[in-house]
């Protein structure tokens, strides 16, 4: 791989399933822009996220280790100072590091994921925050705006704090009447267009970076719940919603039922409701794809794309009723675990128009990016995605630790469902060539309730082969046990983010459904 100056773009499409992109075989034209990117890139057919939700998954992409080692497994977790981040390594290697983030779990909480960025712009919430911003002068008007925002933010925080501490007010804030008002006013999915425009402006104009190569991290939230895509995409992918009052009523209920995003379904999802969720999700995918295409075209027209390692991936997928699950709390089925992973690179390390079939982990993006930047150690270079191949026999793992706030809520409302679905247990998965083993784990029981799937011939995981291929189960269980016993946590899970108890942070997490 070439040495700097090579710009690096890491574009994370939060909550994007790979099986809803046309370049991954979807039969609807949801992703023409991403398809065009894939045609001139290397596409990894079986990219696997290291975890099932944002914080642990980003923690692995930013550190190169699995969640059980970096211990970023809860909303309140904080990355240990002893574990350097990707941005810190690149900054120390001479890169200008900038982030354009639409997810408050990454951009608002002081959990360590912002470490190493010279500039970190957050676009979620009523008042966008700009932590870690450096090198941007402030004139008198800017200072006044900053003062005004602080005063207004303080007032809003007092109001939010009252809602957070009073059970009656908190219950009111999550009623079907109030939730849509909060969601609309706070725009908590961020601003996709603005974040991409700002990222392109930095990469093209290079005002702050001067002569440095640039590492740009971008997180987009377009496919995250709730679903409010532009009308033209609803007409294309979910036209029945515009005509059917019952479908619109269900969608309104779904978009405002944050608890429903977290809990397993007691019964299979109604076929009509499933049709509505599928169509609206597809519409969000297509709307975001258009924005991504505009971003790529802007870089191409400016001549910046050819000197850029461009990585498009996701942190996790999304359940839309499959296996009686909605959202992304505690499972590692393919709807969550399989994510798009597309790498465009002019150096030849990732050839154009190539499809790779081996299972790879998004945690390897850490090693791959450092290698491309000339900052990797020999051990890190050995884990780069450029060196993996179809003859790779190394297993790939994923971990789903139950978010404690979600588990507490489930135990209060549906304890019998927790017991039935083992929601209080950590879920682990291991992939080795054509097979995947999913198992439950707890302090009392290690690796039971196992499920074995053929990931080549049964990507939807409809047939559990546990009783049919016991030798394969034993082999993969051995891998899991070795993995479980060899992971060394860098810090205890009790380390808490500095501002986790901040009412503003609580409010944004509530808006996204991570807190009730």
pLDDT digits (tens, 9 = 90+) for 154-212: 444 344 434 433 445 544 554 555 555 555 544 578 899 999 999 999 999 998 777 89
Phi-psi region of 281 (alpha: psi -120 to 50; beta: other; left: phi over 0): alpha
First-last CA distance in the chain: 46
Q: Which helix (H) or strand (E) holds 252?
A: helix 245-256
- Residue 464 reports pLDDT greater than 80: yes
Least trusted range by pLDDT, from 51-55, 120-124, 362-366, 473-477:
120-124
430 within 8 A of 396, measured Cβ to Cβ: yes
What domains, with CATH codes, occur in the chain? 7-511 (3.40.720.10)
- Residue 142 reports pLDDT greater than 70: no
- Greatest alpha-carbon pair distance for the chain in Å reads 72
Give the pairing of strands 308-313 and 7-13: parallel
116/93 Cα distance (integer angstroms): 11
Both tokens assigned to 376 = 């990797």
For the chain, give me the number of helices (H) and strands (E)?
Answer: 20, 15
For residues 482-495, average pLDDT: 66
Confidence band for 133, pLDDT divided at 50, 70 and 90: low
Give the pairing of strands 426-432 and 435-441: antiparallel
Tens of pLDDT, residue by residue over 326-385, are: 999 879 999 999 999 999 997 888 999 999 999 999 999 999 999 999 999 999 999 999
What b/e sequence results for 308-329 when a residue is b if at least 16 CB atoms lie within 10 Å of its CB, and e otherwise? Answer: bbbbbbbbbbbbbbbbebbbbb
In the prediction, which pLDDT does 2 show? Answer: 45
Q: Which helix (H) or strand (E) holds 398?
A: strand 396-400
Phi-psi region of 436 (alpha: psi -120 to 50; beta: other; left: phi over 0): beta
DSSP letter at 129 equals: -
84/356 Cα distance (integer angstroms): 30
Helix (H, G, I), strand (E, B) or coil at 448: strand
DSSP letter at 490 equals: S
Both tokens assigned to 112 = 């360590």
Angle between helices 271-301 and 245-256 (to 10 degrees): 70
Helix runs in 93-221, H state only: 104-107, 140-165, 167-173, 178-186, 192-205
Tens of pLDDT, residue by residue over 150-160, are: 444 444 434 44
Percent of the chain past pLDDT 90, that is, above it, reads 61
């Amino acid at each position: 791989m070439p040495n700097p100056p090579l710009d690096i773009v890491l574009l994370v499409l939060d909550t994007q399933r790979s099986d809803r992109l046309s370049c991954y075989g979807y039969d609807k034209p949801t992703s023409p822009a991403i398809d065009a990117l894939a045609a001139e890139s290397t596409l990894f057919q079986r990219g696997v996220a290291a975890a099932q939700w944002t914080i642990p998954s980003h923690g692995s992409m930013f550190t190169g280790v699995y969640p059980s080692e970096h211990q970023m497994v809860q909303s309140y977790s904080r990355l240990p100072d002893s574990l350097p981040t990707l941005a810190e390594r690149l900054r120390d290697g001479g890169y200008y590091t900038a982030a354009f983030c639409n997810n408050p779990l990454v951009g608002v909480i002081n959990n360590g994921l912002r470490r190493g960025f010279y500039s970190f712009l957050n676009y979620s919430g009523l008042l966008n925050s700009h932590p870690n911003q450096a090198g941007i002068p402030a004139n008198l008007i800017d200072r006044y705006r900053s003062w005004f925002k602080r005063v207004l933010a303080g007032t809003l925080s007092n109001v939010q704090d009252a809602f957070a501490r009073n059970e009656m007010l908190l219950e009111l804030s999550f009623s079907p009447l109030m939730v849509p008002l909060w969601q609309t006013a706070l725009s908590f999915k961020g601003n996709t267009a603005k974040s991409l425009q700002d990222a392109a402006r930095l990469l093209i104009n290079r005002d702050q970076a001067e002569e440095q190569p640039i590492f740009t991290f971008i997180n987009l939230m377009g496919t995250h719940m709730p679903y409010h895509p532009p009308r033209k995409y609803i007409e294309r992918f979910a036209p029945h919603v515009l005509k059917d009052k019952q479908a619109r009523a269900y969608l309104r209920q779904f978009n405002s039922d944050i608890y429903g995003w977290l809990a397993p379904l007691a019964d299979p999802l109604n076929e009509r409701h499933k049709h509505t969720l599928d169509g609206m999700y597809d519409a969000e995918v297509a709307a975001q794809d258009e924005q991504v295409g505009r971003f790529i075209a802007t870089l191409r027209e400016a001549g910046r794309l050819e000197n850029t390692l461009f990585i498009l991936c996701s942190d996790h997928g999304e359940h839309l009723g499959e296996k009686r699950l909605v959202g992304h709390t505690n499972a590692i089925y393919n709807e969550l675990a399989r994510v798009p992973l597309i790498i465009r690179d002019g150096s030849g390390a990732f050839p154009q128009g190539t499809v790779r079939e081996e299972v790879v982990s998004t945690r390897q993006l850490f090693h791959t990016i450092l290698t491309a930047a000339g900052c990797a150690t020999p051990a890190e270079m050995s884990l780069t995605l450029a060196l993996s191949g179809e003859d790779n026999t190394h297993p790939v793992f994923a971990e789903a630790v139950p978010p404690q706030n979600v588990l507490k809520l489930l135990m209060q409302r549906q304890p019998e469902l927790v017991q039935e679905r083992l929601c209080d247990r950590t879920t682990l998965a291991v992939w080795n060539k054509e097979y995947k083993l999913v198992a439950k784990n707890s302090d009392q029981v290690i690796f039971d309730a196992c499920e074995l799937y053929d990931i080549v011939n049964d990507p939807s995981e409809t047939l559990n082969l546990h009783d049919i291929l016991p030798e394969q189960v034993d082999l993969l269980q051995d891998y899991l046990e070795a993995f479980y016993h060899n992971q060394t946590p860098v810090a205890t899970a009790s380390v808490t983010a500095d501002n986790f108890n901040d009412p503003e942070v609580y409010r944004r997490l509530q808006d996204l459904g991570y807190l009730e």
